[in-house]
Amino acid sequence: MPPDEIRRRTQGVWDNFYSFPEIWKRAHCVKSLKSRLAFVFISKLYRQMYANTGIATDSARVQRSRRWARWLGSLCRRFFAARPMPDLVVPN
């Protein structure tokens, strides 16, 4: 198999595995909607973080991947943020 075909097929597998419909199917392993959304966000974040590791080498795609990763990361941070727990006792 020529190298270009290997690259193209590998990219196709990644694109399919990390598509929204496929991620949503895998997200059914958790019950709550909040957990499913977190699963989707984290999966997309993972995909964007590793989008430029040999498959995508052009600078335009790398920049777009970084923007997506920052955006998804900020969503995940807000999604998991909780209110302070003033009565929480920290063990010594």
* Exposure string over 7-21, b if 16+ CB within 10 A, otherwise e: eeeeeeeeeeebeee
Confidence (pTM): 0.53
pLDDT at 57 over 70: no
Overall number of domains in the chain: 1
Residue 12 banded pLDDT, cuts 50, 70, 90: confident
Range of the domain at 34: 3-80
pLDDT tens for each residue of 26-35: 998 888 888 8
Residue 62 lies in a domain: yes
- The pLDDT-based confidence of 22 (bands split at 50, 70, 90) is very high
17 inside domain: yes
Nearest to 65 by CA among 77, 49, 85: 49
Q: Report the chain's terminal Cα–Cα distance, integer Å.
A: 61
DSSP string, 68-90: HHHHHHHHHHHHH-----TTPPP
Strand, helix or coil for residue 30: coil
